[in-house]
Amino acid sequence: MIEYMKELWPILWPTLGAIGVILAFVPILGLYMTFIERKIAAYIQDRVGPNRVGPFGLFQAIADGIKIFLKEQVIPDHVYTFLYFIAPTFSLMTAMFALVVMPFGPVPVEYESGFRYVVAPGIDIGIIMMFAISSLSAYGIILGGWASNNKYSLYGAIRSCAQFISYEIPLGLSIIGVIAATGSLNIEKIVAAQGGSLWDWNLFWQPLALLVFFTSALAETNRLPFDLPECEQELVGGFHTEYGGIKFVLFFLAEYTHIVTVSFLTVLLFFGGWHFPGLTGPVDASLGGMLLRTFVLVAKVCGVVLFIMILRWALPRFRFDQLMGLAWKGLIPLGLVNLFLVAVVLTLGLPKHLLAGTAVLLFVAAMISTYQLQRTLNQSNPRVMNGGIRGVSV
């Protein structure tokens, strides 16, 4: 047994190291993402934000974490106790398990030697595995809403179920074009295909797919303007109304883990991953090259995370019928159009950069949506038309 462990150790220790990095940094990342988001909210709303604990308020996240752990664990009498405790644990477990095939740094070609920035490298169905696991997080929300035995929680859980089902479809459609062009479901190979130059990034020749993917992924994370499952103006706190203390933190940490996952996926699939022209070459296995690639990837991911946080304070919340209409009437048709154009280009052997013309479709779709929105507003409020009041000259 000892001899077998010695032979297995060179393969085992990089995996254990990657698992240790994820388990060590994800909780700390969740704490400080709340601090950064509060600072961004304060800046946008012209106020100070947390600034009392530590220099510039940097220890506020630690103080909040200690406070949460010391809070009394209140369990309402009317909940289904077993499912009540399982729900937040299941949400966090699925959110973190989806990171198994997610590269959080440059992955060397030789997986058998040395540390690698991924728990399970070289998985040929990596994207399918990750989406299959991350989609299970909806069960945690549904269990939490049902186990709370509260009508507001149940409404939030039902909304979440409908939202996940709706947005999983355009989310899958958006990445099929990238997979077809690359010819692989392996995330590392998709990143490698974007390593030639800046114009090889999928951002420039599939902008329509990027829009559909990012919007759908934002809805999958229950972030504003898609946070209908926890809409406090209507549902108090939605599916986690009856949760407090460390149980609520597990739901919260699962949400921020999803944000990190979405940010990494956006960068890996559309923004070249750890590649950047002039800084990183297609092949560089030296220590300096690996660290530089890691810095490039983390910088891109931080930019996407900040953009997601800013969106929370820049856009109003949708109504639920608007949320469903956006998926079924907007994103799914756009995803199908993008997939059709990718199929035409690949079948006829045309240059893939012709797909950059799909950006024109974005402009046309935006103009049509604006016209329909204005028409709906005029029909719902007939007194307001053409900048004035009907029957009154302006």
Residue numbers of the domain that contains 89: 76-389
Indicate whether 303 belongs to any domain.
yes
**Structural domains of the chain, count:** 1
Indicate whether 324 belongs to any domain.
yes
CB 144 within 8 A of CB 88: yes
CB 199 within 8 A of CB 133: no
Q: 388-389 and 384-385 as β-strands: parallel, antiparallel, unpaired? A: antiparallel
Indicate whether 21 belongs to any domain.
no
Indicate whether 27 belongs to any domain.
no
pLDDT tens, position by position, for the chain (394 residues)?
Answer: 666 666 666 677 777 777 887 888 887 888 888 888 888 888 888 888 888 888 888 888 888 888 888 877 778 788 888 888 888 888 888 888 888 888 887 776 555 556 677 877 777 888 888 888 888 888 888 888 888 888 888 888 888 888 888 888 898 888 988 888 888 888 888 888 887 778 888 888 888 889 899 988 888 887 777 777 666 666 666 777 888 788 888 888 888 888 888 899 999 999 988 888 877 665 556 677 778 888 888 899 999 999 988 888 888 777 778 888 888 888 888 888 888 888 888 888 887 777 777 667 666 776 777 777 677 667 665 554 444 433 333 3
What's the confidence (pLDDT) of residue 109?
52
| Residue 16 to residue 14: CA distance in whole angstroms | 5
Query: Is the previous residue joined to 103 through a cis bond, with omega within 30 degrees of 0?
Result: no
Indicate whether 150 belongs to any domain.
yes
CB-hemisphere CA count at 13 Å for 135? Answer: 17
What three-state secondary structure class fits 193? coil
Indicate whether 354 belongs to any domain.
yes
pTM of the model: 0.83
Indicate whether 43 belongs to any domain.
no
Name residue 385's beta-bridge partners.
388
Indicate whether 39 belongs to any domain.
no
